[in-house]
Amino acid sequence: MTAAPALAEPPVALRGARRVPRRTASTRPLWNLAAIVVVWATSLVVVAVWLAGGEMQALLSGGADTLNALGRAAGLASANLLFFQVLLMARVPLFERGFGRDGITRMHRIVGFWSFALFMAHIGLQILGYAIAAGINPLEQAWQFVWDYPGMLLATAGTGLLLLVVVTSIRKARRRLRYESWHLLHLYGYLGVGLAIPHMLWTGADFTASPAATVYWWAMWGVTAAAVVVFRLGMPLAISLRHRIRVSAVVPDGRSGVAVHMTGRRLDALHARGGQFFVWRFLDGPGWTRGHPFSLATDPAGGELVVSARFVGDGTQRLAALRPGTRVLIEGPYGTMTADERRGGHLLMIGAGAGVAPLVAMLEEADWAAGEATLLARDHTAADALRSDAIDRLVRERGLRHAPLPGRRALTTSSWLPASHAQWAGADLIRYVSPRPAETDVFLCGPQPWMDAVRADLRRAGVPAERVHLEAFTV
């Protein structure tokens, strides 16, 4: 078997040291409950609207009535999911704190595909139902819908834009697009939703069946639009103006990365935590409007904000060219992967590439005794490692156990390990670095497929699911 990971052990002088732990009660369960209640409450209202319109009787009637009842049910469900498709990415605190960035990312993807599928089912069922009732060809009925019904031309254009967003969000297509291009295309989803609304409120029988139903749908769309304006535009602008954040320094970080240091006014009032992230916009010229999510790379209590990124695209390449004094617009802080999630016992941090940076920020902020925290850092080569100076300082001053795992990927079931450790079963390695897996808190950060492989070995090693903490940023 290959050698065990080379763990940098704490200096002898630190091995008996222990910091006084700081326990902060997490409010995430309460936020999660509130978010779930809102989702289910609106879903039940949709069911009530459908039943109040006599759709159950139509469903049991057979023929065209059944198709139309099913079509209207699909349309209502699709419209309700569209609310949440927009709200989930509007940075609404209720959902950010209740579901976390990882949960929101998964939900946004699933809700989007289901909403579009139900939308297409709504169109198909209504065309067939109306065509049977009128005794005409379905193609002729589709033509009549587009040209003769109020709002349908706009809805058709909106359908095309939503189709564009769905196609480019399929994983294979997504990987072929630059982040900047995909992000721009994804914004057309807002326009697609906006073009579909007039049809719903002008001709949808279930939307206009009663004054109460009409008020509900108008109120929901109003709240959704307001959430986008307030939480995606208004609050970020106000926060950025209040704190006046500017770039103070840009320094190399590893062979293919860069660290951007920023200062501002009253940064402590942001209440940012290690492990959280912001969406950053650097006002350095054309393209500044495209925001990029970068996690904090140091404990923000130190009086500055620092992000560390590896060069993987245009957005990260331009970081190296930033000049001191460049103004910065921010959205955030976001994310629930903080030290508050820790339950006690051994602290195991496992990161890959740029995912190591937020783990270092958490280690700088969290309370742990010498030898009580371990960092496994995965990189293509040792020279690519980010935050090396900060990690060395944690090893030297606080007793962090650090094991770098550079090299090409192992072609085994434990593909998150390097080839140099291919003979290790991932679960065995986890138990080696943390002999009491049931009492270990694990924080993960890295590419989603890599994290999936790590999680599989954590389960095999006996780490409880509730002690595994991670957040993803990709949609």
Same domain, 294 and 349: no
Domain harbouring 188, CATH code: 1.20.120
Read off the pTM.
Answer: 0.76
Arithmetic mean of pLDDT, 398-407: 94
Quick check: is 83 in a domain? Answer: yes
Asked if 239 and 265 count as a contact pair (C-beta separation under 8 A), the reply is: no
Domain harbouring 419, CATH code: 3.40.50.80
Q: What is the tally of structural domains in the chain?
A: 3
By residue range, what is the domain housing residue 156? Answer: 28-232
Asked if 345 and 439 count as a contact pair (C-beta separation under 8 A), the reply is: yes
pLDDT above 80 for 304: yes
Q: Are strands 346-352 and 440-445 parallel, antiparallel or unpaired?
A: parallel
- The amino acid that residue 381 corresponds to is T
- Of the residues 311, 334, 357, the one at which a domain ends: 334
pLDDT cut 70: percent of the chain above it: 85
- Among 438, 404, 458, 427, smallest CA distance to 6 is for 404
Q: Are strands 440-445 and 401-406 parallel, antiparallel or unpaired?
A: unpaired
Give CA 303 to chain center in angstroms.
27
Quick check: is 300 in a domain? Answer: yes
Same domain, 121 and 265: no
Same domain, 326 and 443: no
- For 373-388, what is each residue's pLDDT tens digit? 999 999 999 888 999 9
Same domain, 50 and 95: yes
Quick check: is 17 in a domain? Answer: no
Arithmetic mean of pLDDT, 71-87: 85
Q: pLDDT confidence of 291, banded at 50, 70, 90?
A: confident
Buried b (16+ CB within 10 A) or exposed e, 233-259: eeebeebbeebebbbbebeebbebbbb
Quick check: is 212 in a domain? Answer: yes
Quick check: is 11 in a domain? Answer: no
pLDDT above 50 for 292: yes
Quick check: is 175 in a domain? Answer: yes
Same domain, 374 and 446: yes
Q: How far apart are CA 439 and CA 453, in angstroms?
A: 21
Same domain, 286 and 215: no
Quick check: is 21 in a domain? Answer: no
Arithmetic mean of pLDDT, 255-277: 92
Task: Respond yes or no on whether the N-terminal peptide bond of residue 464 is cis (omega within 30° of 0).
Answer: no
DSSP structure string for 256-324: TEEEEEEE-SSGGGG---TT-EEEEEE-SSTTTTS-EEEEBSS-GGGSSEEEEEE--SHHHHGGGG--T
Same domain, 324 and 350: no
- For 21-67, what is each residue's pLDDT tens digit? 444 445 678 888 998 999 888 888 888 888 887 888 888 888 898 99
Same domain, 209 and 76: yes
Q: What is the pLDDT of residue 373?
A: 95
- For 130-158, what is each residue's pLDDT tens digit? 899 888 988 888 888 778 777 677 777 77
Q: What is the pLDDT of residue 228?
A: 87
Q: What is the pLDDT of residue 243?
A: 95
Domain harbouring 320, CATH code: 2.40.30.10
- Of the residues 202, 232, 262, the one at which a domain ends: 232
Quick check: is 165 in a domain? Answer: yes
